Amino acid sequence: MIISDGAEDAERCSSAGAEQPWPLPDLLDAGVFLLDDGGRIVHANTRAERLLGRAAADLLGQDPHDLLHRGRYGEALPRSRCLLRRAALTGRTVQGDEGWFERGDGSLTPLAWLIAPCRLPMGRLGALVLFHEGVPDSAASEAGRHGPVAPATSMSELERLALLAETTTTLTSTLDVEQALRELVRLVVPLLADWVVVDLITEEGEVSRATVAHYENGAVVRRKDLEGPMPPVPQESSMPLSRALRGVTATLAGPETYQGPPDSDIAVVQRELFRVTGMHSASIAPIRGVREVVGALTLGRSERPGAFTTPDFLLVEDIARRAGLALSNARLYERQRRVAETMQRHLLPRLPRVPGLEMSARYVPAPRSSHVGGDWYDAFTMSDGATALVIGDVAGHDLDAAAGMAQVCNMLRAYAGAELEPPSTIVDHLDQAMARMAETTMATAVFARVELTRDEGWRLRWTNAGHPPPLLVEHDGRARFLEAGQGMLLGTGIPTARADAVTELPPRSTLVLYTDGLIESPRGSIDAGLSRLREYAASLPHHPLHAICDLLLTHVRPDDNNDDVAMLVLRLPGDARVPDVPAPR
């Protein structure tokens, strides 16, 4: 499937030679533009360059409203007030007595203009714009001789501007695609329409009907039966939705639009949509992202009387443009989040097989896809036969945090394998090394050794760098936090004396190492989260380790904590006599 954003016409028509439909005349005092069916400039004569103080290369491919059209005081104008754009979209010949264009040097020039429909190469419709210097008149209206644009859906100009402002503020406040779509539905239904349909182009170039919602009995109802994959968009289709998904301008449509033979499978789906929903009038606009077409927005009316008007779909087009920027940003963030999550998962280790010890671990990204952090776990066998356990959290919630996590994790492994030193000394070496990293990185961590003692018992020796304390759950259900060995977090650059702590590990006991995403809640205290973890874990000493991990994530992790979680769980054997494991000297 080929998706076009309309810019290809500008590139094609701006080439010299046989593709130029006709040479644009250099009239005595008139500049001339040729617009494609997306409202972009594909030709400009030399008089237009002189009037506007802009080279043709700076004009081609641009929307003249966005680039040039201004109010009397140089302010940008909403598209719903643009008569020039209104004429181009409706295909009617319209003349304006006064308008203000911004020249290349930022100054304003008053212009009178006339726009008329014409046909471009390959049979596409376009428009020819002639303009010349006008005489500024303080009493003149921006609307020209055709009067002001009628308010859309009986909304005042102030109300329309307020709606656009709220759309911008609301949609750009989230980086989640689903949330942005829910907010878009809330903004336009029932204010502008009974139905809202959002079709999105996936990263694979396919089309998916992401949202269909209907306002009925005072509530917005999601029609998931009408959502799902859509047929490909043919490049040659002239139907409104196909044009919108190719990036061509907003269009008014109704059941009569699809009464003739359909020109594509997607037109068949649209005909069925109008039949099922009962829409008698619809406005279909492209949703443009920063660099590409993201999808199409359809607003439809079924119960409410009155068809969409030209001012209506100019307003819908403005809303769709703002939605496009928000969705484009959300998709970009989602791609970055996936990269970080994938990298993080690949960097997390496979747990070693240690005779006599059971281990299980989990890494879970943020539940609402907003954060990917530097949480990690690690476990490896040291040169003296002890088992090293690590849980840590690099500050930050982005790709940099995940990259910092990889560096810190690898450095800690290197220091732990170089010499047989107490955990506090190894972590102190790590802290000093982090101070020399190119990017400032701070982290919390617990580094521990599980050792087999001479009397064939098990011992835990650890140090804690500002991390939540490990939880030890004995086989009879008694649970306690290992709060000794606390010290300052890593990466502050402040010299500190770190301490080691030691405790015996009872047979069949379970040790839980975790990051703060398991216990912290924006609405509750850290103490409440720790109590919740201890009380629930105390009821699980006989469960398999993999079940303990899943149950803790389900029942302890707060619903409102939008942070990732790393967890490492270890269980001691019932009989300490384990073969082939040398005791430390």
At residue 397, does pLDDT exceed 70?
no
306-359 pLDDT, tens digit each: 888 878 888 898 999 999 988 988 888 777 777 766 766 666 788 999 988 999
- 94 against 70, higher pLDDT: 70
Q: What angle do CA 530, 535, 537 make, to 5 degrees?
A: 95
DSSP for 368-405?
Answer: TSS---EEEEEEEE-TTS-EEEEEEEES-SSHHHHHHH
Per-residue pLDDT band at 367 (split at 50, 70, 90): low
Residues of the chain with CATH 3.30.450.40: 154-337
Residues 80/315, Cβ–Cβ less than 8 Å: yes
CATH of domain 7-149: 3.30.450.20
Lowest mean pLDDT among 27-31, 377-381, 387-391: 27-31
Residues of the chain with CATH 3.60.40.10: 348-571
Lowest mean pLDDT among 75-79, 450-454, 564-568: 75-79
Per-residue pLDDT band at 153 (split at 50, 70, 90): very low
- 492 against 438, higher pLDDT: 492
169-203 pLDDT, tens digit each: 888 888 888 899 999 999 999 889 999 999 999 98
What average pLDDT does the chain have?
82
Residues of the chain with CATH 3.30.450.20: 7-149
Q: How far apart are CA 395 and CA 294, in angstroms?
A: 33
34-50 pLDDT, tens digit each: 888 778 898 888 888 98
Pairing of β 228-230 and β 281-288: unpaired
Mention the CATH class of domain 154-337: alpha beta
In this predicted structure, what is the pLDDT of residue 332? 83
DSSP three-state, residue 257: helix
CATH 3.60.40.10 fits 348-571, yes or no: yes
At residue 241, does pLDDT exceed 80?
yes
